[in-house]
Structure 1
Amino acid sequence: MAEGRMTDTERAEPHQQPAGLSIVSNTTDGICVLTLTGEIDHHTGGKLRQALDVPDRVRPRIVVDLGRVTFMDSSGINIFIAAHRATTEAGGWLRLAAPTASVMRTLQIVGVDTVIDCRQTLRHALSN
């Protein structure tokens, strides 16, 4: 039996699709709560940007629950900063809740935690 040689293409790992991002929106006491699950990156950023869009809201109050976010790159940072500016200009606020350790580290390294209110739990983010 002859042994075949594998080409580089055959050895390469199969192309993996991005993990994706799930966004569930609810309202609690007039506060829009976005619960995110998955990864925030350039593949999923458009979906997050759309969920955070506040063009017709007066004094929007938004809490983003990050407790199930496994990864966030600079795309997420830029989206959150833009959303923070938009909600503030509309007389409202944006809070980030329950970031995982890796997401919190990213927020701290860039200094976003000093600009956007980050709360340890969703319950704390929903309270005044």
Structure 2
Amino acid sequence: MNNLIIVFVGGGLGSLARYGIGKVFSQWPSVFPFGTLTANILACLILGVFGGWATFKSTDLVAASRLFVVVGFCGGFSTFSSFSNETIQLFLHDHWFEAGTNILVSIIACFAATFLGIWLGKTFLAI
């Protein structure tokens, strides 16, 4: 039961953070889904930092923390379904350049953010 609560709280906080990012970017009129892109990049960075940090920690600490950070927070914060839907909507509304840019930038930036996060976690959190 404790694990369910940990995931629930982490997911709730991640969802609130995702909502906040969406509200910030909704103030700037654009067809490009900057809110979703930003949330996904930040989630990848956070996940990477956690992965780098977890390299040096005990298995028990990592297991509990993973439920909160990876499954809960990052699961509630990142959104592949929104990325997919927004990209398809761009295609359907003949915004081909924006759709292609969204796909390329999302893949490249998310991989880069995860890699950077792992490096940051290993370098600065190896305490």
Whether these two folds match at TM > 0.5 is: no
TM-score bucket (shorter structure): 0.3 to 0.5
Higher relative contact order (CA 8 A, sep 6+): 2
Computing the radius of gyration from Cα coordinates, the structure with the larger value is 1
> TM-score with structure 1 length normalisation?
0.32
> TM-score with structure 2 length normalisation?
0.32
